[in-house]
């Protein structure tokens, strides 16, 4: 009989796998090695197991299975059939199901042994049920399940959603993350009660499950639902979302606008966390647009999102380090074409991003209610530069600074002007009417009572007040009667489209200029770019103009204000030289 080397025998016998090595002697399989796993599966010791196996194992085998096992064993010993059989064997007082399969193995000395693996299927089944019960207990313990809807919860998402994504990719599908929230859930709860609100959430859960069967649906925080789907057809996906939304609105107890949804396809470079963020950002784009139910994530909008984040997160640094600089654009009189005032314009010159346009950072600051800080900063920079300009014999002409309706929610504009004027002791250089406060027509039209009071206070304190962007789409002649403006700035679009619409803008500008003159209000037109425009505004009697026909804005600390003809502003060594320079270029 074959003898295993002692070290090999010890290793094979200690294995937790359930198997027996046999040697065929005189046409009968004799066990030569029994593993610990087999002993555990059968519940008997190695010595007893060896004797039992040598006797053929038939004593404990179910009578109905003995014939099949005997026939397959004979065929296997004779190398005519494979060994792969199911049978029942008594363990204790009960029969267990076993699956046995075997192979031949030639040892180093040429001895041929058969190794048979015995799997206790009944025991495996019991373990499976045990694990399932344990899992169900965990679900009931709410670790992975939302107790209200019965859906997997956010813990499940973080733990297993990436696996679902990988499965979909293995099926050659492009997964998508669908992030939905129930529109105005708090209002619904307030109107119909918390119980009705819970029922609405359950309705949303049931509807999405029915509409997207087989997909992973998660109950997120509060009124959020997250779907991981392999539907690649965008039309089919959005059609499903719209159908779900219609059912929710139809079957809800109270009146609801249903769900709004952001969608992000998960490409190979994304993980679940990124895709979920992108889907959220897509949802935010809908805002309060009641005509939209869904929006797809786009890379361009994501890039814009990160640009906006950079702006708001670095705004404090930009102010502290003077990355935001004042550029002055000249305002010229039509007749003399000499500068009579400057408009202070903000330019963000970032050390890592380069120049950031006002069209980028001003809307962001406005959205986060930080615009008043920019306006105060611009005011202070203008005040700080007045003594510097005086010391360098640079001309001092009035400067306009833009303020907004939103500023009045945070500061008193007139009080801030007075505080800066006194702090920098500007009375020795300029009078208060040196400062021009520009307010857009849109802001005046939408202003609160507090804002309107502040507008009146600006002129009462001696500062000039200009109405900016008149004619930009919000025009109301009532504004001219309600407030005293020193000057009206007509929107550049009127001049830019002078001959469009059958020349309607020519008629409009003539009429508005006539009204302003009769009211005693000075006039300025923005956007002057060519000789034809200049001839027209001179003809209708406009007093001042602003635009690239004369110059482009330049920064003060780099020798400012490039003037018509390419003549730059420069320091003047004497008072006489300064006066001569002013006479040539300034009115």
Intervals of CATH 3.30.450.20 along the chain: 6-126
The CATH number of the structural domain formed by 6-126 is 3.30.450.20
In angstroms, rounded to a whole number, what is the distance separating the alpha carbons of residues 379 and 423? Answer: 12
The CATH homologous superfamily to which domain 144-297 belongs is Reverse transcriptase/Diguanylate cyclase domain (3.30.70.270)
Residue 97, C-beta contacts closer than 8 angstroms, at least 6 positions apart: 86, 87, 88, 120, 121, 122, 125
In angstroms, rounded to a whole number, what is the distance separating the alpha carbons of residues 269 and 278? Answer: 13
* 311 close to 361: Cβ distance less than 8 angstroms: yes
The reported pLDDT for the residue numbered 136 is 60
Look at the chain and count its residues: 587
In degrees, to the nearest 5, what angle opens at C-alpha 346 toward C-alphas 344 and 347?
Answer: 135
Intervals of CATH 3.30.70.270 along the chain: 144-297
Structure tokens at 209: 């499950």
In angstroms, rounded to a whole number, what is the distance separating the alpha carbons of residues 561 and 499? Answer: 31
The reported pLDDT for the residue numbered 551 is 57
pTM higher than 0.75, yes or no?
Answer: no
Burial class (CB in 10 A: 0-12, 13-18, 19+), 171: exposed
The CATH number of the structural domain formed by 328-585 is 3.20.20.450
At residue 468, φ and ψ (nearest 5 deg) are: -100, 155
For the beta sheet containing 19-25, the strands, ordered from the edge strand earlier in sequence to the opposite edge, are 28-34, 19-25, 112-120, 94-106, 83-91
The reported pLDDT for the residue numbered 498 is 83
- Largest separation between any pair of C-alpha atoms in the chain: 131
Intervals of CATH 3.20.20.450 along the chain: 328-585
In angstroms, rounded to a whole number, what is the distance separating the alpha carbons of residues 310 and 351? Answer: 13
Q: What is the number of other CB atoms lying within 10 angstroms of the CB of residue 290?
A: 10
Q: Measuring CA to CA, how many Å separate 470 from each of 80, 443, 477, 525?
A: 100, 11, 10, 10
In angstroms, rounded to a whole number, what is the distance separating the alpha carbons of residues 170 and 424? Answer: 69
- Residue 227 DSSP SS3: strand
- In tens digits, the chain (587 residues) has pLDDT values of 899 999 999 999 999 999 999 999 988 889 999 999 999 888 888 888 888 888 767 878 898 999 999 999 999 999 999 999 999 988 878 888 999 999 999 998 999 999 999 998 887 776 767 666 666 655 555 578 898 999 999 999 988 888 899 999 889 999 999 999 999 899 999 999 999 999 999 999 999 999 999 999 999 988 999 999 999 899 999 999 999 999 999 999 899 999 999 999 998 877 888 889 889 988 987 876 778 899 998 878 778 878 888 999 999 999 999 999 988 888 989 888 888 899 999 999 999 999 999 999 999 999 899 999 999 999 999 999 898 888 877 778 899 999 999 999 999 999 999 999 999 999 999 999 999 999 999 888 888 888 989 999 999 999 999 999 887 766 667 778 778 899 999 988 888 888 887 888 899 899 989 999 999 999 999 988 888 889 999 999 999 998 876 655 544 443 343 332 333 344 455 667 656 655 655 54
């Amino acid at each position: 009989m074959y003898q295993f080397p002692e070290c090999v025998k010890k290793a094979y016998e200690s294995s937790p796998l359930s198997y027996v090595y046999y040697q065929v002697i005189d046409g009968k399989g004799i066990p030569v090695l029994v593993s610990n796993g087999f002993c555990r599966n059968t519940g008997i010791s190695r010595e007893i197991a060896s004797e039992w196996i040598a006797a053929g194992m038939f004593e404990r085998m179910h009578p109905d299975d003995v014939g099949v096992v005997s026939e397959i064993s004979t065929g296997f010993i004779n190398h005519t059939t494979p060994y792969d059989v199911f049978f029942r064997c008594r363990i204790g007082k009960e029969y267990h199901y076993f699956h046995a399969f075997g192979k031949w193995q030639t040892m180093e000395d040429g001895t041929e042994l058969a190794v048979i693996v015995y799997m206790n299927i009944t025991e495996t089944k019991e373990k499976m049920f045990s694990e399932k019960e344990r899992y169900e207990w965990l679900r009931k313990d709410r670790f992975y399940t939302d107790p209200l809807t019965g859906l997997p919860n956010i813990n499940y998402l973080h733990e297993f959603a990436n696996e679902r994504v990988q499965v979909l990719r293995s099926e050659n599908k492009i997964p998508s993350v669908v992030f939905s929230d129930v529109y105005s859930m708090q209002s619904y709860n307030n109107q119909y009660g918390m119980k009705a609100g819970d029922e609405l959430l359950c309705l949303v859960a049931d509807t999405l499950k029915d509409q997207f069967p087989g997909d992973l649906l998660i109950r997120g925080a509060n009124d959020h639902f997250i779907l991981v789907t392999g539907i690649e057809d965008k039309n089919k996906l959005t059609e499903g979302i719209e159908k779900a939304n219609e059912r929710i609105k139809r079957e809800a107890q109270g009146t609801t606008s249903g769900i709004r949804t952001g969608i992000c396809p998960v490409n190979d470079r994304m993980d679940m966390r990124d895709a979920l963020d992108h889907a959220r950002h897509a949802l935010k784009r809908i805002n309060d647009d009641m005509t939209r139910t869904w929006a797809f994530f786009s890379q361009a909008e994501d890039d814009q999102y990160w640009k906006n984040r950079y702006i708001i997160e670095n705004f404090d640094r930009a102010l502290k380090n003077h990355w935001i600089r004042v550029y002055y654009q000249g305002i010229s009189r039509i007749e003399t074409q000499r500068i009579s005032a400057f408009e202070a314009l903000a330019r963000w010159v970032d050390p890592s991003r380069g120049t950031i346009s006002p069209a980028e950072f001003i809307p962001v600051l406005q959205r986060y209610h930080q615009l008043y800080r920019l306006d105060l900063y611009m005011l202070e920079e203008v005040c700080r530069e007045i003594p510097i300009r005086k010391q360098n014999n640079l001309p001092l002409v009035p400067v306009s600074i833009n303020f907004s309706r939103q500023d009045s929610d945070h500061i008193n504009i007139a009080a801030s002007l007075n505080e800066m004027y006194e702090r920098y002791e500007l009375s020795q250089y300029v009078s208060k009417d040196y400062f021009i406060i520009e307010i857009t027509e849109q802001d005046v039209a939408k202003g609160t009572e507090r804002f309107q009071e502040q507008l009146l206070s600006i002129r009462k304190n001696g500062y000039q007040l200009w109405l900016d962007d008149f004619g930009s789409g919000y025009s109301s002649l009532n504004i001219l009667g309600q407030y005293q403006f020193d000057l009206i700035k007509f929107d550049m679009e009127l001049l830019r489209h002078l001959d469009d619409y059958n020349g309607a803008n020519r008629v409009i500008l003539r009429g508005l200029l006539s009204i302003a003159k009769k009211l005693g209000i000075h006039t300025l037109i923005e956007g002057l770019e060519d000789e034809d425009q200049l001839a027209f505004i001179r003809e209708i009697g406009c007093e001042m103009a602003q635009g690239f026909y004369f110059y482009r804005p330049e920064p003060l600390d780099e020798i400012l204000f490039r003037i018509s003809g390419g003549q730059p502003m420069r320091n003047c060594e004497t008072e006489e030289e300064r006066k001569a320079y002013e006479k040539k270029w300034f009115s």
